[in-house]
Amino acid sequence: MKNATKIISCYSADTAGVCSALYELGGMVVVHDASGCNSTYSTHDEPRWYDKRSKIYISALAEMDAIMGNDEKLIGDIVSAANDQNPEFIAVCGSPMPMMTGVDFGAVAEEIERRTGIFTFAVDTNGTHNYLKGASDALLTIVEKYTQKTEKIKNGVNILGATPLDIPLNGSLNSIKNWLKDSGFEVIASMTMDCTLEDIKRSAAAEVNLVVSYSGIAAAEFMLKEYNIPYVCGVPVGKEFSKILADSLKNVKEKAYPCAERQTAENGIYIIGEGITAGSLARAITLETGKKTRVVCPLDHNKNMLAQGDTDIYAEEDIEKLLALNKPKAVIADPLYKFIVPGAVKFIDLPHFAFSGRCYERFMPNLADNDFLEKILR
């Protein structure tokens, strides 16, 4: 069967992306599902679950409710919970079962908002897409709703696309913030880790946005169009690339993808993962070691994120064939990819929470650590 994962894991689902992007903002997120989505999210996709409270729920969809199309139970339960909890907003998203029964989430959201008076929106998920789509759609909706036009703050910057699925809870976000401050910027909002709705409301005061994963691209495009805020895509990895990234933030006119400004090689070092993170690491390696790289991006991306020669294949069997055919010098990827990499190829662990969850959490590196490249390429 094409695209079935037989050996490696699969990436977190779009519903997890929604929950992760909205986790800290004071809203209520409801996944319309029988039972599995919330336990999977809490145990595999959300490292904040035991430390920070959030209103993340499932609807407990019953078989007869699904068969008979009993949307009133979903609406009534959410309205009742909202009256008790008084959330800042309500987000409703779906899983495979309501996709098959054709639930009209837009209409459900409208009815909930009418009854509660609380801003309610639907996020188009069905559990079959990866986390980046859900996080992107959720963040875009929040930015469109809450961002307010205001006076600019000199050298103000927002961080877009930051969730624990891509930015580990190991000091990585603080390292990025400290790097921005050392580079002369003032961080206004880090969407959406260590972030509040008040931060998002004043985020239009920024002069530039730093996009650290694909989930921030849609919001960055909206802010470019609506508030004339340019954006730069990249994660500060290594001293040389970090300098280039800082210069790009200071000089960008509209949008820039320094993570993709590099040469590739079919038999170089292969990096598998999210496009902006992998691309930033790839360029940093080339700048500081002279070794050519190639990114394999099995996740959502746009055409600007990848360099010429990178590949966006995502099926397990296609990645396995590519590695066997091209015989790269090394592969940098989540440890679960090791089982489809040819045995003679050097493998360097780069755990990714959205792929292996808590399995390798304690080994997740801080890419913005100045010594990271030396540690990983030793």
Q: Per residue of the chain (378 residues), what is the pLDDT tens digit?
A: 566 778 888 999 999 999 999 999 999 999 988 876 667 777 788 899 888 999 999 888 787 877 777 889 999 999 999 999 999 999 999 888 888 888 899 999 999 999 999 999 999 998 889 999 999 999 999 999 999 999 999 999 999 999 999 999 999 999 999 999 999 999 999 999 999 999 999 999 999 999 999 999 999 999 999 999 999 999 999 999 999 999 999 999 999 999 999 989 888 899 999 999 999 999 999 999 889 999 999 999 999 999 999 999 989 999 999 999 998 999 999 999 999 999 889 999 999 999 999 899 999 989 887 677 776 666
Q: pTM score > 0.85 for this model?
A: yes
Q: d(Cα 274, Cα 73) in Å, to the nearest integer?
A: 38
Catalogue all structural domains in the chain, each as residue range(s) with its CATH number.
Answer: 14-129 (3.40.50.1980), 145-256 (3.40.50.1980), 259-376 (3.40.50.1980)
The residues near 225 (Cβ < 8 Å, ≥ 6 apart) are none
Q: Are 341 and 330 in contact (CB under 8 A)?
A: no
Neighbours of 238 (CB within 10 A): 26
- Return the amino acid letter for 101: T
Q: d(Cα 138, Cα 161) in Å, to the nearest integer?
A: 11
77 CB-side CA count, 13 A: 15
DSSP notation for 90-101: EEEEE-HHHHHH
Paired tokens of 16? 């997890």
